[in-house]
Amino acid sequence: MSSWKLAIMGVVLGIIALFAMGLQNDPRDIPTPLISKPASDFSEPSLKGDATITLTDYRGKWVLLNFWGSWCISCVAEHPYLIQLADQVKDRDDFLIIGVDFKDTREGAFRFLQRHGDPGYQHLFDPKQRVAIDWGVYGAPESFLIDPTGIIRLKHTGPLYPGWFEKVALPLIDGGAVQ
Amino acid sequence: MRVIPWLLLFTLMGVTLPTLAAERAEDPNEAQVREIAQGLRCTVCQSQSLYESNSDLAQDMVSVIRDKVAEGQSSEAINKYFFDRYGDYIYMEPVKSGANLVLWLGPFVGLLAGGLGLFVAVRRWQKGQGTQSVAAKSDNQGSVPNKSIEAELDKIEL
């Protein structure tokens, strides 16, 4: 009889433990299945001017793809670091940043860059968020790191933070591309 | 003379009968779009489908579905497109394979195990009661609790 009681107690404790673990999960965080998958190529108009930006043009380089919008409050918080990072990597020939301004208007984006500073790299303009949906984006800012062979190596949901490049990106870059 | 206003009223009512309304045909693709969008979960509101949600992202995702349906893609291909990008989360119903089978089969396994356990327990109680009731009857008269209960009952006057 006591072994039965122990078993039931164990089951109940197990359920409580699972429940407690479930409470730690953030229901807004959607894990991406895109890691280690080939990046979805795009060829889209640039935010500034009529040029088209094509992802495959940058094979052989690491690409940080940063999704943002002038409507996004966290992007304001992230922006100073992007300006700093753009300056920091401007001499590297193996790494570049591309922005994706999505669900936005050109006027809004220009005003944002004017007010908060222009990091200088190029941006796609994706008003209907077709590219964003194609990349499984559901909020902003979201960033992807794509390796020189065109494989997505990591995703960062939320603002990039000072030191992110050294802490997260560099070890991957120095470790080389997935074969 | 009072008939005229009534006639007028009924004529007006007759003109507005719903059966006389022009039918507005839905785009033939829209049924498929709706079916797909109802099965996919809005990524910013968690418990609504894309079809029900008014969020910008959900509506843009529905328009992606609409375009893909218009291109002639199958429902499976469109579902897979979103699954490949948003993972398990995107389905309103978890897929019935892999680790998710625990979700689908677990309750039934639990029900079966509980039912079997209950069956065994009831059988055991029944067996136990058979011998117990005989024993209970034999010393029914003289047991201390019964006597005290009878004594208490005697005190009550109805």
Interface confidence, given as ipTM, is 0.85
Interface of B with A in 77-106 (CB under 8 A): 83-87, 89
Q: How many domains does chain B have?
A: 2
Give the chain A residue nearest B43 (alpha carbons). Answer: A138
Digits of tens for pLDDT over chain B (158 positions)? 688 899 999 998 888 887 777 777 788 889 999 999 999 999 988 789 999 999 999 999 999 999 999 999 999 999 999 999 999 889 998 888 888 888 889 999 999 999 999 999 999 988 877 655 555 555 555 567 777 888 888 887 76
Q: How far is CA A70 from the centre of its chain?
A: 16
Instruction: Tell me if A10 is assigned to some domain.
Output: no
Digits of tens for pLDDT over chain A (179 positions)? 688 889 999 999 999 999 999 888 887 788 899 999 999 999 999 999 889 999 999 999 999 999 999 999 999 999 999 999 999 999 999 999 999 999 999 999 999 999 999 999 999 999 999 999 999 999 999 999 999 999 999 999 999 999 999 999 999 998 864 44
For residue A108, what are its two tokens? 């809004």
- Contact yes or no for A97/A86 (Cβ under 8 A): yes
Nearest to B43 by CA among A146, A139, A170, A167: A139
Q: Which domain holds residue A60?
A: 34-175
Q: Which domain holds residue B71?
A: 27-93
Instruction: Tell me if B115 is assigned to some domain.
Output: yes
Q: Which residues of B touch A130 (CB under 8 A)?
A: 60, 64
Instruction: Tell me if B8 is assigned to some domain.
Output: no
Instruction: Tell me if A155 is assigned to some domain.
Output: yes
Instruction: Tell me if B46 is assigned to some domain.
Output: yes
Instruction: Tell me if B62 is assigned to some domain.
Output: yes
Q: Do A139 and B44 touch (CB under 8 A)?
A: yes
User: Are B87 and B44 found together in one domain?
Assistant: yes
Instruction: Tell me if B51 is assigned to some domain.
Output: yes
CA angle B30/B35/B41 to nearest 5° reads: 120
Instruction: Tell me if B9 is assigned to some domain.
Output: no
Instruction: Tell me if A29 is assigned to some domain.
Output: no
CATH number, domain of A57, equals 3.40.30.10
Mutate to test the interface with B, among A3, A8, A25, A30 (most CBs of B within 10 A): A30
Residue B37 CA to residue B62 CA, distance in Å, equals 6
Nearest-neighbour CA in chain A from B70: distance (Å): 16
Instruction: Tell me if B81 is assigned to some domain.
Output: yes
Instruction: Please name every residue paired with A66 in a beta bridge, in sequence order, or none if there are none.
Output: A99, A143
User: Are B84 and B109 found together in one domain?
Assistant: no
Interface of A with B in 14-73 (CB under 8 A): 27-28, 30-34, 37
**Amino acid B158: pLDDT:** 64
A125: alpha, beta or left? (left if phi > 0; alpha if psi -120 to 50): beta
The beta-strand segments (E) located in chain A are 43-45, 52-54, 62-68, 95-102, 123-126, 142-146, 152-157
**Amino acid A179: pLDDT:** 43
Q: Do B89 and A30 touch (CB under 8 A)?
A: yes
- Contact yes or no for A151/A177 (Cβ under 8 A): yes
Residue B40 CA to residue A152 CA, distance in Å, equals 24
Instruction: Tell me if A1 is assigned to some domain.
Output: no
Neighbours of A137 (CB within 10 A): 28
Q: How many domains does chain A have?
A: 1
User: Are B128 and B109 found together in one domain?
Assistant: yes
Nearest-neighbour CA in chain A from B94: distance (Å): 14
Helices B75-86 + B56-70 axis angle, to 10: 140
